[in-house]
A and B are shown apart, each in its own frame.
Chain A
Amino acid sequence: MKLLIVEDNLKLLDTIKETLESEKFLCEAAANYETAHEKIFLYTYDALIVDINLPDGTGLDLIRKMKQQNSTTGIIVISARNSLNNKIEGLDLGADDYITKPFDMAELVARVKALLRRRNFSGNDIITHNKITVNTVNRSAAAGNQQLDLTKSEYDILLFFLSNPGRVLTRESIAEHIWGDNMDLADSFDFIYSHIKNLRKKITAAGVDNPLKAVYGVGYKLEKTTT
C-alpha cells in the first residue's frame, strides 16, 4: 500500500509519516503543492492524504489533478478550517473522507484503513485480531466461535481498537470517534467507560480473554500479541 501525504507543517508531516509507516504502509511525503503535483504525475498511489491549505496552492487542486490522473486513488482531506464549504467542496471533487485538525493519529489510521478496505476490491473485509473477528461488510463481530451482539457504538469502538492494535486509545479519541464533535469530551468519559465495560463483558462471555487493557487515567489499549 503506497500513500502520499501532503502537509505543509513539517513536524506534523513527520509524525503522520512515522505513524503510518509503523502500520506497514509505504509513505511518501510532500510539504508543498509543487512537490505533491510532481509526485502525482510520476507515481501511482493507493491513497492521498492532503491538507487543503498549502503555501503555494490549494489541496483542492491536487484532488482534481489526482482524479484526472488516477481515479481509483482514495483521498482523505485534512483541514484546519472547520468550514462546511471546504468539506463539501472537497467531497464534491471526489475526496472520500474529511478529517479536521487536530486529529488523533489513531483516528487517521482508522480512517486510512477503512478507506483502503472500501477501495480494495480484492476485499479485506474481515479483520482478525487474536480470536476476535470483525466483518466490516455486514458489520458483525465474533469472539472465538461465538457471534457478538453489539450495539452500534460498541461495534464502532471495537473496530477502532482493531484498526489500532498496540496503540493507546485515549478516552478523548474514542469519544470523538463515536460522536464526532457532538459530545463535550470531558463529559463523555463515563459513557466510554460503560461502553468498554459492556464490550469486555460480551467478549469474555464468549470465552475469550479480555483484550482491552486499561491504561490508568488515560484510556485503553488493545494488546498486540496473544497473552
Chain B
Amino acid sequence: MRLIKRTYIYTSLWMLPIILIGSIFSFLMIEYVSYEEIDEFLTYEMERLVEYHEENNDLPEFHQVARIIEDVKYEKPFFKDTLLLEPGDNEMVPYRELWFSINHNGRDFTLVIQHLMLGRDDIAQGALLIISGIVLLILLFAFLSVNRVTGKIWTPFYDTLHKITRFKISEPPPEFTNSDIDEFNALNSSLSELLKKIKKDYQHNKEFNENASHELQTHLAVIKSNAGKLLDNSGGDEKRTETASKIYSAATQLSQVQKSLLLLSKINNREFSDNIELNLEDLMKQVLELFAETITLRQIKLSANTKPSTVFMDKGLAEILINNLIKNAVKHNIENGYISINLSPQKLEIKNSGEPYAGNPEHLLQRFSKGKTGISGIGLAIVKEICDLYNFEIQYDIKNSTHKITIHFSK
C-alpha cells in the first residue's frame, strides 16, 4: 500500500472520535444556548405583562398566557420543563414554562407563559450533521492539499527509491539528488555510505576470489605436475607410486573443490549477469549427448520427453544447471536403472532410480552433505544456488529408491 493511501486511511480513522466528541460538545452547547435564549425571552415577556398590568390593571388583548390559576401565589417566578401534546402530528413536544404571580384587585393570580423548545433528538441530529459535515470538508481539503504537497515533498524520496531499486552491484553506486529536507538528505547520505561499503566488500570479495584462484591454482599445478613426474619415474616401486598418487589425487581434488567453491561464490556475488533468452531443450539435448556414452555404459534406460522451454538466464549458468542435474542422475544411479526427464515451459522434472535415502532429501541440496561414500559433491548445492538466483523453486523428493528433482521456473 502506498504511503499516501495509508496516511489517508489512518487520518480518516482518527476523525471518528473527533466526530463523536465534537457532536456531544455541540449538542450540549446548543442545548445550553437554547435554554438561555428561551428563558430570556420568557423573562422579558413576564416583565412586559407585569408592567402592562401595573399601568392598565388588565392584561393586554393579545397575550401569551397559557393558563391563569386563581388564588395561588408564588413568592418567586420559576421555570419548568413540560411536555405538551401537539395535535398537529399527535406527538408530545417539549415546552418551557415560566410561572409567576400578580395581584389583581386584591386577588392573587398565577400566570403561566410557555415557549416551544428544541427537541433533544433534533439537537443531537443537528449537532452530528454539522460536525460530520465540517469534518468531511476538512478531510477533503486536507487530502487535496496533502496530495498536492506530497507530490512535491516526497519527490526526492521516490527518486532515491527508484535509484536503489535499479542499483546493480557491478555498476558504480548512484548519485542521489540533494533535497532541502534534512531527513531525506540524511537518508541519502546513509544510503550512499552503505552502497559504497557494499560495493567495496563486493570488490574485495571478487579480488580475493580471483587472487585465491590464481595463486592456489598455480601452486596446485606445480604440486600436480611434480607428483605426476614422480609417478613416471617411480621405477615400479609400489610404495613410491602410492605416495605420489596420494599427493596427486589430493591436489586434484583440492583444485576441484576450490573451483566449485569459487563458482558458488561467483553465483552468490551475481557475477553472472549476461542474461539472455535461451531454450533449455537445446541445452538438454547437448548435455544428454555428452553423457550418452556413460549412460549406455551403465545400461541406464533413458526416456526424455522435452518441449521447447524458454528461460531468461545466463548461458554459462544454464549449462552448469542442466549439466549438474544430469550428472547427478547418472552418478547416483544403479546398474540397469533408469532416468526419466520431463521438460515443459513451466518446469523440469528429472526422475531416476538410485539408492534409498533415509534422511531429509533437502539435505542433499546443501554443500558437502555427507553421502554414503564420505562427503558427496557440491554439484546439487550449485544447482540450488542457481535456482535461488533466478527464483526457480526446486524440490527434491525420494520415494523408496526413486529420486525426483523438480524445478519450477518462475514466470
A and B held together in a complex: yes
Question: Are B222 and A15 in contact, CB atoms less than 8 angstroms apart?
Answer: yes
Contacts of A53 in B (CB 8 A): 214
Q: Are A191 and B214 in touch, CB under 8 angstroms?
A: no
Q: Which residue of A lies closest to B266 (CB)?
A: A83
Chain A proximity mask over B317-358: 1 for CB below 8 Å, otherwise 0: 000000100010001000000000000000000000000000
Chain B residues 227 to 248 lying within 8 A of chain A, measured CB to CB, are: 228-229, 231-232, 238, 241-242, 244-245, 248
Contact residues in B for A81 (Cβ distance below 8 Å): 210, 213-214
Q: Does A208 contact B (CB under 8 A)?
A: no
**A12-B222, A182-B323, A185-B252 are contacts. A80–B228 as well, Cβ < 8 Å?**
no
Alpha-carbon gap, A9 to B248, bound state (A): 19
B373-391 at interface with A (beta carbon < 8 Å): 377, 379
In the complex, which residues 44-81 of chain A have their Cβ closer than 8 Å to any Cβ of chain B? 53, 80-81
Chain B residues with a Cβ closer than 8 Å to the other chain, count: 44
A84 to B320, CA, bound (A): 13
* A12-B222, A82-B262, A102-B221 known; A218+B245 contact, CB < 8 A: yes
Q: How far is the CA of A182 from the CA of B294 in the complex (A)?
A: 12
State whether B228 touches A9 (Cβ < 8 A): no
The answer on a CB contact under 8 Å between A82 and B253 is no
Fill in one digit per residue for B242-278: 1 if any A CB lies within 8 Å of its CB, else 0. 1011001101110110010010000000000000000
In residues 81-125 of chain A, which contact B (Cβ within 8 Å)? 81-82, 84, 100-106
By a CB distance below 8 angstroms, the chain B residues around A151 are 293
Q: Is the CB of B249 within 8 A of A152?
A: no
Q: Is the interface of B mostly helix, strand, loop or mixed?
A: helix
- Against B, the Cβ 8 Å flags (1 = close, 0 = not) of A1-16 are 0000000010110011
Chain A positions within 8 Å of B, measured between CB atoms, are 9, 11-12, 15-16, 18-19, 53, 80-82, 84, 100-106, 151-153, 166-168, 170, 172-173, 179, 181-187, 191, 194-195, 215-218
| 20 more CB-based (< 8 A) A-B contacts, given A9-B222, A15-B225 | A9-B221, A12-B221, A12-B222, A19-B229, A80-B214, A82-B259, A101-B217, A101-B221, A103-B224, A106-B228, A152-B293, A166-B232, A172-B248, A179-B290, A182-B323, A185-B253, A185-B256, A187-B377, A191-B294, A217-B241
Q: What are 13 residue pairs bridging A and B, where the CB atoms are less than 8 Å apart in the complex? A: A15-B225, A18-B229, A19-B229, A101-B220, A102-B217, A102-B224, A102-B251, A104-B224, A106-B228, A173-B228, A182-B327, A215-B231, A217-B242
B residues near A (Cβ < 8 Å) are 210, 213-226, 228-229, 231-232, 238, 241-242, 244-245, 248-249, 251-253, 255-256, 259, 262, 290, 293-294, 297-298, 316, 323, 327, 331, 377, 379
